[in-house]
Amino acid sequence: MDSQQCYKPKKLFTVKEANTTLPLVRAITSDLARLSLELTERRQRLRHLLSGREFEAGDPYGEELAQVGQELEQDGLRLRDYVDELRELGVEPKGATEGLVDFPSMLDGRLVFLCWRLGESEVMHWHEIDEGFAKRQSLGADSVTDKSEDEGDLRT
């Protein structure tokens, strides 16, 4: 089964709709990227601190490390909440740390993703749904059709 048949988007976006949604997507993605990076760094530090160490009852650091573990777990749940918020909007978070987000859309009768990365001012790229950021292409005038010309296709 090809990826076109497997993926059922919650919403299809035009370029204009994606850009209109971008302020909220940007805010959530910014929080997601920041927390994701923090969590990655904290987990790495914790692994380093714990490597080769065995804890015994009464270890003075055991309680503190348990608290750090709980905080990491809570922050992991916050990350999941950010991802869920984005998906509720109909977008697909693709890279938490990098701030990559895809907006499902239609181009020439096929499902594609409008591609945006944290730091970009607007949605200016797209890629096939089974390809990623590395294969994204610019939204040129020839790739975008007007709603009146082809209902359901990318349009400004």
How do residues 75-97 score in pLDDT, each as one tens digit? 999 999 999 999 999 999 999 98
pLDDT of the residue at 17: 96
DSSP string, 11-66: ----HHHHHHHHHHHHHHHHHHHHHHHHHHHHHHHHHHHHTT----TT-TTHHHHH
| 48 or 154: which leads in pLDDT | 48
Name the band, by pLDDT with cuts 50, 70 and 90, for residue 44.
confident
Q: What percent of the chain is modeled with pLDDT above 70?
A: 81
Contacts of 36 (CB under 8 A, 6+ apart): 79, 96, 97
Using N-to-C axis directions, what is the helix angle for 62-88 and 15-50, rounded to 10°? 170
Q: Is 132 left (phi over 0), alpha (psi -120 to 50) or beta?
A: beta
Residues belonging to the chain: 156
105 beta partners: 112
pLDDT of the residue at 19: 96
Mean pLDDT value across residues 10-35: 96
pLDDT of the residue at 5: 55
Model confidence at 109: pLDDT above 60:
yes
Decide: 139 and 123 in contact? Cβ < 8 Å. yes
- Look-up of token digits 């938490």: 96
Q: Whole-model pTM?
A: 0.78
